[in-house]
Amino acid sequence: MQYAGIAWTADGYEVEIVDDTGERAQAPTRWGAERVTELTDWLERTGRESGEPLAVVVESTNGLVDGLFTAAGLDVHRADPWVLPERPDFGSVPARSLADRARRGLAGLSPLTAEGGGQTGRDDDYHDGIRRSADAEAELTRAGRCFRHGPRDRREIALTFDDGPDPAHTREVLDLLARYGVHATFFCVGLHVNALPDEVRRIVDAGHSLGNHTWSHPFLPDLTARQFRLQIDRTADAFDRAVGTVPTVFRPPYGCRTPEMLSELLAGGPALALWDVDSWDWARPGPEKITRTVLDHVLPGSMILMHDGGGDRRQSVLALPAVLEGLLEQDYRFVSADTLASRAATH
């Protein structure tokens, strides 16, 4: 069997593949974040040509590749902090460490699924973080800096897309939004903003809004306060370099909250933008199911969660025309997440 460790860096990904003896099965490779589709194809081909099973291992602070990997049929596992050496403040443990940890005991790692996403098997930690964050979240809400939706007395909604920009799917989403004359907000990850600044400029030039979605889409309970702050600040810097502005709204990956994270937001920074309508497009249930989920749950003031990056988003693109037509038929006006935030703060 072979084991591929995938580490994230400020620029993209590093990959090391070892065999059962710990010897390198391939020379180490580096991939820019804009080449993640190529990386997926390369891993699939490498496993097929080797004639041996290939286990792909990411760590819990890398939530950007598992969707593409699982969609391609790769065997993907997550290594959590307690089975790894200490991480740097920015970046993951080395790819070799991930590959070696898998070789020493793959059964001790969490297999990832399309349905569970990057947090597969961590539901207890997820809900515990939200429970412990209740007081801090309430304080942010009172300050007008945390919201799930806008006022229910206006037929306004915010359509949002997470995990981009993606070199293929984001353009398809933008074309559809232009066709229907609809405004949206794109919660982008820093790795992709840094690698694809032209795509970010394309979003802004088309009249849409931006939100901060961390650098590497980590499972936030596994970050220290400093690591979380670096994820936010470096992503803001990438936006500033790309378009000369910094988003005023932030969405945590998976909707995770921890007291440590919220204390950083209480000290100043973007408003916390959650959602009240999850399309479940990230689980790839089919375009019809995605459409029906949105249209069955939308209300005045809703914040709708969809995705344009971080995985195979063909179903999201296929569902979007029916989603837009259904919402327009109900006379909803599309506004930015920033606008909903300001409405919620003053309502």
- Yes or no: say if 338 and 212 are a contact pair by the CB < 8 Å rule: no
273 burial (CB, 10 Å; 0-12 / 13-18 / 19+) is: buried
DSSP conformational letter for 107? G
Pairing status of strand 333-334 against strand 156-164: parallel
- H helices present in 23-79, as ranges: 36-50, 66-71
Residue showing tokens 């037509």: 325
The 3-state DSSP composition of the chain as helix, strand, coil percent (nearest 5) reads 45, 20, 35
The answer to whether 307 is a known catalytic residue is yes
Query: Which residues pair with residue 55 across a beta bridge?
Result: 3, 75
Q: Which of 66, 166, 307, 308 is catalytic?
A: 307
Give the whole-angstrom CA distance, residue 140 versus residue 146.
Answer: 5
Give the whole-angstrom CA distance, residue 102 versus residue 25.
Answer: 14
Q: Which of 66, 162, 166, 308 is catalytic?
A: 162
What is the biggest distance separating any 2 CA atoms in the chain, rounded to whole angstroms? 64
Residue showing tokens 């914040």: 303
Give the whole-angstrom CA distance, residue 29 versus residue 195.
Answer: 17
Main-chain dihedrals φ then ψ at residue 166, nearest 5 degrees: -115, 135
Give the whole-angstrom CA distance, residue 331 versus residue 14.
Answer: 48
Coil/strand/helix, residue 44: helix
Q: What sign does the dihedral 306-275-155-247 (CA atoms) show? A: negative
- H helices present in 77-224, as ranges: 95-104, 123-132, 134-142, 169-180, 190-195, 197-205
- Yes or no: say if 177 and 197 are a contact pair by the CB < 8 Å rule: no
Q: Annotated catalytic sites, by residue?
A: 162, 307
